[in-house]
């Protein structure tokens, strides 16, 4: 190996090792933070600063959690309640992605679509999902459709807006380069716009999923016979 190869390897090695060390240190910090919170929780309950009625000790929470996992709740196991909630959030998220991404692409890439669709999304987006829950229950009943529809509406707007933002920020040089090579509009969307907008789309999915979870629990509090929200309501 020549001196140039040795020096090049010496230069390249830190760029690989440093991110790994930073990642490990971040994980340790997160783990230590979690352990510190658990220690504070245990200390507060052990010293009697807060009554167990308002903040039970970690051991009592673990014992109750194990009892729920083994014995179930309200004639259903914990996993059945969890599965019901996951199926609802999964259906709402899936339908939201399938519809919000094309709508976001249309809003970001087409002026007419932006003028038609953007005001509608911006009109209902600030409204809390629970505000139109009574209407959805009246229109769709108290079955699964009303819950999935409510979750869908809560997730749709963040994904559509994030997708439109990602499409509008695509590098014009990439679009011109693809067009100069004879790419059709469908090829532009598939090979240029979607890959460039993917980080924004995933950000919208993460935000929408958080909103969807809170909406799911609230919907199950009102009209459900299974699910995590139903367990909270019946506790």
89 and 198 within one domain: yes
Residues 74-94: tens digit of each pLDDT: 777 888 888 889 999 999 999
110 and 67 within one domain: no
Residues 201-210: tens digit of each pLDDT: 999 999 999 9
According to DSSP, the residues that pair with 76 across neighbouring strands are 73
**Cβ neighbours of residue 152 under 8 Å, at least 6 residues apart?**
91, 92, 95, 96
According to DSSP, the residues that pair with 73 across neighbouring strands are 76
What residues make up the domain containing 102? 77-234
Among the candidates 48, 71, 94, a domain finishes at 71
DSSP per position, 116-174: HHHHHHHHHTTS-GGGSHHHHHHHH-SSHHHHHHHHHHHHHHHHHHHHHHHHHTS-HHH
pLDDT at position 12 is: 46
Residues 33-56: tens digit of each pLDDT: 999 999 999 999 888 888 888 888
Cα(162)–Cα(100) distance, integer angstroms: 9
170 and 114 within one domain: yes
Number of domains in the chain: 2
pLDDT at position 6 is: 43
Cα(109)–Cα(194) distance, integer angstroms: 11
129 and 22 within one domain: no
146, 137 contact by CB (below 8 A): yes
């Amino acid at each position: 190996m020549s001196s140039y190869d040795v020096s090049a390897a010496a230069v390249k090695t830190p760029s690989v090792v440093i991110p790994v060390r930073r990642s490990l240190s971040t994980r340790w910090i997160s783990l230590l933070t979690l352990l510190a919170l658990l220690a504070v929780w245990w200390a507060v309950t052990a010293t009697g600063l807060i009554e167990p009625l308002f903040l039970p000790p970690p051991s009592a929470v673990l014992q109750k959690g194990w009892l729920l996992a083994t014995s179930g709740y309200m004639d259903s196991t914990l996993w059945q309640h969890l599965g019901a909630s996951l199926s609802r959030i999964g259906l709402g998220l899936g339908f939201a992605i399938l519809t919000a991404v094309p709508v976001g692409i249309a809003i970001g890439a087409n002026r007419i679509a932006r003028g038609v669709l953007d005001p509608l999304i911006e009109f209902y987006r600030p409204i809390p999902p629970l505000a139109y829950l009574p209407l959805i229950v009246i229109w769709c009943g108290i079955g699964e459709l009303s819950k999935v529809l409510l979750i869908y509406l809560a997730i749709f707007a963040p994904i559509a807006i994030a997708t439109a933002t990602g499409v509008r920020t695509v590098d014009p040089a990439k679009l011109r380069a693809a067009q100069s090579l004879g790419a059709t509009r469908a090829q532009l969307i598939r090979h240029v716009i979607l890959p460039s907008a993917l980080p924004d789309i995933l950000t919208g999915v993460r935000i929408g999923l958080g909103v969807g979870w809170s909406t799911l629990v609230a919907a199950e509090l009102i009209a459900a016979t299974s699910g995590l929200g139903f367990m909270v309501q019946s506790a």
